[in-house]
């Protein structure tokens, strides 16, 4: 874990920077969650819905939806694959996305077998993740989406 301004992030994960998701990849299985910056700018989550286990998605396709104080929208799959697990705890208590984004607040697990073989579009590496996150904070502050810290 690394503290950057008011955020604690994990630099040991992969990040889908366009979607704002983190991915914890072991073999062909990826556990997907939201970065703390996304949950901060979205507000408190009040509802989340996922497609069923066994459903297959291409990168960029909607695998569910969420509702928060400042946003209602679709969740876009950061990599291709088949959902093998849905976090029912988050469905029952969406606030876990805000309070424990790297722990109990994960979204789904997918099997990437036969999907995106590589993770070339994902960001990884401690220095790279730190630099990206710092730049995102600055961009969000400039747009007025975050209080200056």
| Domain spans in the chain, listed from the N-terminal domain onward | 13-117
**What's the rounded mean pLDDT across residues 16-21?**
90
Catalogue the long-range contacts made by 12-16 (C-beta closer than 8 Å, 24 or more residues apart): 12/126, 13/124, 13/129, 14/119, 14/122, 14/123, 14/124, 15/122, 15/123, 15/124, 15/129, 15/132, 16/78, 16/79, 16/121, 16/122, 16/123
Q: Given this model, what pLDDT does residue 118 score? A: 55
Closest-CA residue to 30 (of 44, 17, 16, 45): 16
Mean pLDDT for the chain overall:
89
- pLDDT at 107 exceeding the cut of 60: yes
Strands 7-9, 81-86: pairing is unpaired
Determine what percent of the chain is predicted with pLDDT higher than 70. Answer: 93
Higher pLDDT, 51 or 2: 51
pLDDT at 149: 46
CATH match of 13-117 with 2.40.50.100 = yes
- Residue 113, sorted as left (phi over 0), alpha (psi -120 to 50) or beta, turns out to be beta
**Which pTM was predicted?**
0.89
**What pLDDT score was predicted for residue 116?**
53
Residue-wise pLDDT tens digits, 47-95: 999 999 999 999 999 999 999 887 889 999 999 999 999 999 999 999 9
CA dihedral 9, 15, 18, 21 (to 10 degrees): -70
From residue 121, give the alpha-carbon distance in Å to each of 116, 117, 118, 124: 10, 11, 8, 10
For residue 47, the cross-strand partners are: 67
């Amino acid at each position: 874990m690394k503290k950057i301004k008011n955020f604690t992030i994990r630099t040991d994960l992969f990040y889908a920077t366009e979607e704002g998701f983190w991915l914890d990849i072991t073999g062909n299985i990826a556990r997907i969650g939201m970065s703390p910056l996304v949950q901060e700018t979205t507000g408190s989550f009040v509802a989340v819905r996922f497609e069923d286990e066994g459903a297959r998605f291409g990168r960029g396709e909607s695998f569910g939806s969420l509702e928060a104080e400042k946003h209602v929208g679709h969740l876009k799959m950061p990599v291709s694959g088949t959902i093998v697990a849905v976090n029912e705890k988050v469905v029952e208590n969406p606030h876990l996305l805000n309070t424990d984004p790297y722990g109990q607040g994960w979204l789904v697990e997918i099997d990437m077998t036969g999907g995106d073989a590589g993770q070339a579009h994902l960001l990884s590496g401690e220095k790279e993740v730190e630099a990206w996150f710092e730049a995102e904070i600055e961009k969000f502050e400039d747009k007025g989406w975050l209080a200056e810290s």
